[in-house]
Amino acid sequence: MQELKPIGQSALALPSKTHKNQSWGFFPVLTILVLIGPIVSGLVGTILPAFGGSFQSGLSALSFEYWGHLIETPGLARSAWLSLKTGLISTFVSLLVCLLLVASWQGTKIFLFFERLLSPLLSVPHAAAALGLTFLIAPSGWVFRLISPWATGLQRPADLLILGDPDGWALSAGLIIKEMPFLLLMSLAALSQVDTASRMRIALSLGYGQVRGWMLCVLPALYRQIRLPVYAVIVYSMSNVDVSMILGPTAPPTLSIYILNWMTDHDLALRNVAAAGAILQLALVLIGLLIWRLGEKLCALWTQRAISSGKRGAGQSDVIFRLLALIFAAASLLAIFGGLLSQVIWSFAGRWRFPEALPSSFTTRIWERHGASALEMSMTTLALALLAALIALILTIGCLEAEFRRGRVMQRAGLILIYLPLLVPQIAFLPGLQILLLQIGAGLGFWPVLMSHVVFVLPYVFLALSGPYRAWDHRFHTLATAMGKSAFVVLWRLRLPMLLAPILTAMAVGMAVSVGQFLPTLLASGGRLATLTTEAIALSSGGDRRVIGAWVLILSVAAWLPFSIALFVPRFIYRKRLGMLHE
């Protein structure tokens, strides 16, 4: 995992314990409470009702009644298998494509092109990407329209079960196109700490092929650093609700969908069954992670043998790998951006018959009908996102500043705590949190939603900001302190303004995460707070492509808007400060 170097570039830059710095310890403690509090109480709130208990009565009447209900659910085993299978397959494929892309294309213009598109790609919420995919691959979607009738002979949409296929291939595809860019970003961040160039120079000079050399010399160092993000992808892929609702099968659905249905059922007794299901989900994710670890061990073994075999793997295999990586990466890219484009067109489409590639008439009817309410909901969504990201930002800066002032470096345990919200399935603890909030009479609504968003936004804000924050030249601090300036003045007048661009980027990342949240919004508000994401997913079952297109478009714009602001504002403010621009 990430081996954190001591703070600062030279001994002189190292801060040491000084007066009043201990009070900053408040921030890490608060941050841990904000992160862990909801998770732990949510897990407790899940375990108790699963065994017939509650917060008031504890576990006095221990009962396995609800487990009986759970086990009798039709297709439960198949549902659990589906969750496990789609989760592991989609993680494996996204990681493989990501690694092949880095191995065979890094340093080329094509790779730079992908790199530039990463931020907008990542800002697209899962639900928007999944809905975009349905617009493309459905029997009446764009792909079939483009190849019909000349290639398929189809005059009407074929009767094919592509979306929601019982084996979950569409679901896996939807997960891959979103997780691949995420893993790519994490790999790029980690690669800056692995001296790829010199490792590769040695491998190539020994006659190794590009890909094989990379896999043997760079990957082991890289993988150690991206292990936590990979686990986060496994957990999300195995337990997500939003993508599964849109692209996953229905009879049976994935386990997470069962749990959600029980949670939102009118029959309150089903909440206990949901709690039992959530524990099953947790166990399932643990099994998934164990299987993955086993795979890791096998790969390590293979690497050892491959190294001692001395095979160079130069020549044709490189070409094949390059092509494969490019095809998959380009397909993911096309799926997301093509989906968005298709949504733009649908939202303005008048008459659009199959198999025409474009509508025969255009209209603004949908926008006239939905525009005002979509705009209003955008305001709610963005306000929520702004608040959540701001809270996360303050906590993050507080933690990083505490680390700096106390001269302590965050240990691996700290990093795992930060990652925890991404490593515990949402569906395993959010139901418990909702049950808890109801039982203690706290009620559901905006504030619980905000609190739950902060839990998921914080890890991303921290991961986005910690690198640049720690890399800031500490000699500025030394210099200003020697001029008699307090640590607060240094922070406020030097460090934060100099880090404006990364701070705004971290805010934008956090806001995009908040905008895309579905389950926390739904459960912590009791379904009473509508955001663009919950609305888009609610509309998706209706199947009116024009309406879905309009809402998803607004959703994607809302998620992308903070990124464009983060890009523009520092360039404008520092337009006359060259030293701030070429960083």
Binding residues for another protein, per CB under 8 A? Answer: 10-19, 407, 473, 475-476, 478-487, 493-494, 497-498, 500, 574, 576-580
CB of 386 to another protein, least distance (A): 24
Q: Which is nearer to another protein, 10 or 361 (CB)?
A: 10
Nearer to another protein, 8 or 213 (CB): 8
Residue 7 Cβ vs another protein, minimum distance, rounded to whole Å? 9
The 3-state DSSP class for residue 343 equals helix
CB nearer another protein, residue 266 or residue 577: 577
Do residues 345 and 135 make contact, with C-beta atoms less than 8 angstroms apart? no
Minimum distance of another protein from residue 502's CB (angstroms): 13
* Cα separation, 123 vs 126, whole angstroms: 9
Integer Cα distance of 487 and 489 in angstroms:
5
Minimal distance in Å, beta carbon 469 to another protein? Answer: 16
Output the smallest distance, CB 21 to another protein, in A. 10
Q: What's the gap between Cα 428 and its chain centre?
A: 17
Where are the extended beta strands (E) located within 393-460? none
Q: How far apart are the first and last CA of the chain?
A: 27
CB of 561 to another protein, least distance (A): 25
Residue with tokens 């001994």: 11
Q: How many angstroms separate the Cα of 183 from the Cα of each of 93, 231, 527?
A: 11, 11, 32
Give the phi and the psi of residue 58 in degrees, each rounded to 5. 65, -140
Instruction: Name the residue nearer to another protein (CB basis): 89 or 496.
Output: 496
CB distance 90 to 240 below 8 Å: no
| DSSP category for residue 5 | P
Task: List the structure tokens of 510.
Answer: 């956090």
Amino acid symbol at 364: T
User: Residue 451 or 480: which CB sits closer to another protein?
Assistant: 480
Burial of 390: CB neighbours in 10 Å, binned 0-12, 13-18, 19+: middle
Q: What does the DSSP assignment read for 190-203?
A: HHTTS-HHHHHHHH
Joined tokens for residue 522: 């739904």
Handedness of CA 26, 31, 37, 40 (dihedral sign): negative
Q: Which CB sits closer to another protein, 337 or 574?
A: 574
Which of 78, 485 has the CB closer to another protein? 485
Judged by CB, which is closer to another protein: 293, or 571?
Answer: 571
Output DSSP code: residue 9: S
Shortest distance in whole angstroms from residue 478 CB to another protein? 6
**Nearest-approach distance from CB 10 to another protein, in angstroms:** 6
DSSP state of 518: -
- CB atoms under 10 Å from CB of 193, counted, come to 15
> Looking at beta carbons only, is 65 or 473 nearer to another protein?
473
Of residues 24 and 348, the one with the C-beta less far from another protein: 24
Residue 563 C-beta: closest distance to another protein, Å:
22
Tell the residue number behind the tokens 């890399």, with chain if given: 471
Give the largest Cα separation in the chain, rounded.
80
Contact 83, 168 (CB under 8 A): no
Q: Which CB atom, from 369 or from 575, has the smaller least distance to another protein? A: 575
> Which two three-digit tokens encode residue 358?
């474009």
Q: In the bound complex, what is the minimum distance in angstroms from residue 472's beta carbon to another protein? A: 12
CB nearer to another protein: give 162 or 580. Answer: 580
Using CA atoms, how far apart are residues 513 and 392, in angstroms rounded to an integer? 12
Please state the closest distance from residue 577 (CB atom) to another protein, in A.
5
Smallest separation, CB 5 to another protein (Å): 13
Q: Give the nearer residue to another protein in terms of CB position, either 446 or 476.
A: 476
Measuring CA to CA, which residue among 93, 98, 87 is closest to residue 290?
87
Distance of closest approach, residue 24 Cβ to another protein, in angstroms: 15
353, 248 Cβ separation under 8 angstroms: no
**What minimum distance in Å lies between the beta carbon of 192 and another protein?**
21
The helix or strand, by DSSP H or E, that contains position 71, with its residue range, turns out to be: helix 65-72
Q: Which residue lies nearer to another protein by CB, 436 or 501? A: 501
CB of 18 to another protein, least distance (A): 6
Query: What does DSSP assign to residue 2?
Result: -
The answer to whether the beta carbons of residues 560 and 123 sit under 8 Å apart is yes
Side-chain-side CA neighbours of 357 within 13 Å: the count stands at: 6
C-alpha–C-alpha distance, residues 457 and 385, integer Å: 9
For residue 36, the tally of other CB atoms under 10 A from its CB is 14
Q: Residue 505 or 514: which CB sits closer to another protein?
A: 505
Burial of 127 (0-12, 13-18, 19+ CB in 10 A): buried
